[in-house]
C-alpha cells in the first residue's frame, strides 16, 4: 500500500512538473524570440552606422588627398563616359579576384557638394574570401571609390564559402554643366549585349 501511494505521488509530481515545464516554455519562447529579433535589429543598425561612418571618413580622405596633389577624381568630364569606364574597371577587378560578374550597371548620379557622385551597381558570385578581397581592393583604389551599399547572401543553405554580393560603388567626378540629354544609364550582363537608355 505504501509503495502504491508513493508511486501515485511520483506520477502526480511528474505530470505536474511536465505541465509546469510546458507552461514555462510557452511563456519564455516568445520572449526569447523577441529578444533575438531585437538583437538582429541592433546588429543591422550597427552595420548601417559603420557604413555611414566609413563613407564620411572616405569623404574626408577625398578632401585631404585633393589638397595634397593626388587627383582623387574619376578621369574625364562627362558622367556617362566616367560611368562606362568605372563599370569596365569594376568588371575587370572582379574578374581578377576570381569572381563571376552577374551584372554591372550605371545608376543615376547625384550632386554632392563640389563634385558629382557617379554610382555603379555590381553583382558578383564566388568565394567569400574573393568577395572580401574585392571589397578591400575597391576601397583602396585611386581615384577613390566608395562602397555605399553592400548586400551579401550565401548561394547554398549551410555553406558560407560561396556568396552572391550586390554592391553600389561610387566614384567622384568634378562638377560640370549637365548634358542636355542627361546621364546615360547602362546595364551590361556577361554573355549579352549592353543596353543603354537616356533619362
The pTM (predicted TM-score) of the whole model is: 0.55
Higher pLDDT among residues 97 and 181, named by residue: 97
Same domain, 38 and 120: no
Same domain, residue pair 27 and 63: yes
Q: Are residues 64 and 138 in the same domain?
A: no
Confidence of residue 182 (pLDDT cuts 50, 70, 90): very low
Residues 99, 138 within the same domain: yes
Domain interval for residue 2? 1-70
Hunting for cell 516568445 — which residue is that? 30
For the stretch 34-43, pLDDT in tens is: 666 666 667 6
DSSP 60-113: HHHHHHHHHT---SPSSS-HHHHHHHHHHHHHHHHHHTTPEEEEEEE---EEET
Domain stop point among 27, 52, 70: 70
Residue 66 shares a structural domain with residue 79: no
Q: DSSP class of residue 1? A: -
| In a shared domain, residues 184 and 106 | yes
Amino acid at each position: 500500500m505504501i509503495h502504491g501511494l508513493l508511486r501515485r505521488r511520483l506520477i502526480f509530481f511528474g505530470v505536474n512538473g511536465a505541465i509546469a515545464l510546458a507552461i514555462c516554455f510557452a511563456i519564455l519562447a516568445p520572449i526569447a524570440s523577441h529578444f533575438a529579433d531585437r538583437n538582429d535589429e541592433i546588429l543591422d543598425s550597427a552595420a548601417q552606422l559603420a557604413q555611414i561612418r566609413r563613407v564620411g571618413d572616405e569623404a574626408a580622405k577625398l578632401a585631404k588627398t585633393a589638397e595634397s596633389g593626388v587627383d582623387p577624381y574619376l578621369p574625364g568630364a562627362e558622367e556617362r563616359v566616367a560611368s562606362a569606364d568605372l563599370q569596365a574597371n569594376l568588371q575587370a577587378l572582379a574578374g581578377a579576384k576570381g569572381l563571376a560578374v552577374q551584372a554591372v550597371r550605371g545608376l543615376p548620379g547625384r550632386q554632392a557638394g563640389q563634385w558629382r557622385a557617379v554610382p555603379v551597381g555590381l553583382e558578383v558570385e564566388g568565394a567569400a574570401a574573393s568577395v572580401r578581397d574585392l571589397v578591400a581592393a575597391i576601397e583602396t583604389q585611386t581615384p577613390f571609390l566608395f562602397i555605399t551599399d553592400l548586400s551579401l547572401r550565401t548561394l547554398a543553405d549551410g555553406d558560407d564559402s560561396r556568396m552572391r554580393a550586390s554592391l553600389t560603388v561610387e566614384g567622384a567626378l568634378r562638377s560640370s554643366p549637365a548634358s542636355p540629354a542627361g546621364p546615360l544609364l547602362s546595364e551590361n550582363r556577361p554573355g549579352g549585349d549592353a543596353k543603354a537608355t537616356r533619362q
